[in-house]
Structure 1
Amino acid sequence: MTLDGERRFGRVLSCIKGDFIADMTPCAPKGGYGLSYPTGSASLAQVVDRWQDYADHLGGIVGYAADASSLQFDGGFYSPNHKKRGAWGDHWTFKVDRLTGKAMLTQEGKPDIGYVCAKAKPRF
């Protein structure tokens, strides 16, 4: 995770990476969503603040939320035919407890995976 480490579209974004992410750029503003292009490199197309603003987006969608005790990234795709929660299908969620450092990766159709996170020390 890189918190508040990127700036695009005039916004500060937080990002996450891992082998569970495919076909999207997993970055979003706090409380908002990053929308990736549906084809090609799946780079970030735009960022929005409300779920209503991605309701017709065809491509990867990443949400990011943070408060004093937790961080959470949710990633998935919009599909008009998705059977869960209307058109949005979240394929993975990564949630971190900021107080303990414990994190959980939940993926659609797979067992949950636990992690222990620690703040990285700057190298420079």
Structure 2
Amino acid sequence: MKLVDIARVLEAKLLSGEPHLDREFEICRGSDLMSDLLANFADGGVFLTGLPTVQAVRTAVVSGVGGIVFVRGKAPPDEVLELAKREGLPVLTTRLSMFVACGRLYSSGMAGHDGAR
């Protein structure tokens, strides 16, 4: 699923990463625990979290995440967006809960972080 389609499905606003709108994503992972993300690498997937922090971006980069969606209407501070831009990591925000956002992506054909459908 392309990033532009993820934004549409999640009714999300793109905060950074416009050049990546055509990037394809096959898997997603939702968590507010950075240790969960580190334990199961993301392999270029999209990461959904409610923690709009510098640590979330750094963890995403180390884990190989291809994009971040902040759920529950969370808006990251400028320093978070600046770091994501430097790392080439697209960032979106959606008003949806993590449960609903993950469900919508799954219903649209995305798999979980382990490839399960």
Higher relative CO (Cα under 8 Å, sequence separation at least 6) belongs to: 2
Whether TM exceeds 0.5 here: the answer is no
Structure having the higher strand fraction is 1
Q: TM-score, normalized by length of structure 2?
A: 0.28
Q: Give the structure-1-normalised TM-score.
A: 0.28
Q: Report which of the two has the higher share of helix.
A: 2
Q: Highest Rg: 1 or 2?
A: 1
